Amino acid sequence: MLILKCADCRRKLWKYHKIGQGELHRCHKDRIRKVWNMEERDGKVFCPCGRAVGIDRGSFYTMDRNAFTCAGTKTNG
């Protein structure tokens, strides 16, 4: 499980079940386990501080790699 945080304000965004060892380019909505802070508007995902962290693509979010940090462990699938 990974904990994603905003790169600007360091607020926790959500807890995500990452499968595989690669970088986090997409967050599939069905793998998000817990949401702390997240706002969806105009087809994008924002932190409450106003920073856009991703784009809504339907079943997943395409993440902006400079907008968030993550900590935790990745699962080998």
Q: Is the dihedral of CA 20, 25, 27, 28 positive or negative?
A: negative
The tens place of each residue's pLDDT in the chain, 77 residues long, gives: 999 999 999 999 999 999 998 899 999 999 999 999 999 999 999 999 999 999 999 999 999 999 999 999 988 86
Q: How far is Cα 56 from Cα 43, in angstroms, rounded to an integer? A: 5
Nearest to 9 by CA among 47, 53, 42: 47
Asked if residue 74 lies in contact with residue 1, where contact means CB atoms within 8 angstroms, the answer is no
pTM, full prediction = 0.89
